Amino acid sequence: MAHLLIVEARFYDHLNDLLVQGARAAIKAAGHTHETLTVPGALEVPAAIALADQSERFDAYVALGVVIRGETYHFEIVAGESARGIMALTIDGLAIGNGILTVENEAQALTRARPDEKDKGGEAAKAALALLDLRERMAR
């Protein structure tokens, strides 16, 4: 049984609730356990995962959050740098499912976050578990 950490960038509460719901359901359905950690925004997610990994308590990670395009360049920085940070940790060997949505508007976010639609929270949890399985198979 694996123990996962869901790290959520809690900026849009109603959207995050849906992402977390999907991730928790996928983890439970696969027979694993989890904890949830909340950070202020998507830029803090990679750092939180790196710090949590030092505890050696978690087998895999699920990164969740929503970044909605605004009127400034900030969207590109947050979307790109959070993804870059997560990818760097993944390349270093951490099993991370990236469910940080980068969308144009709230309607797109809702469609992707709802467990009965695109279920990107659940997909991120499944991706983390798939990477964990791959890491374990490659270690043999």
Query: Catalytic amino acids?
Result: 74
Q: Binding site: what residues are annotated?
A: 11, 42-44, 66-68, 71-72, 98, 112
Q: Binding site for 5-amino-6-(D-ribitylamino)uracil: what residues are annotated?
A: 11, 42-44, 66-68, 98
Bridge partners of 4, per DSSP, are: 34, 60
Give the number of other Cβ atoms within 10 Å of residue 60's Cβ: 24
Distance of CA 28 to the CA centre of its chain: 16
Q: Binding site for (2S)-2-hydroxy-3-oxobutyl phosphate: what residues are annotated?
A: 71-72, 112
Measured CA angle at 62 (ends 123, 64), to 5 deg: 80
Distance between CA atoms of 57 and 85, rounded to whole angstroms? Answer: 21
Is the CB of residue 53 less than 8 Å from the CB of residue 85? Answer: no
**Strand pairing category for 3-9 and 96-103:** unpaired
The amino acid at residue 74 is: H
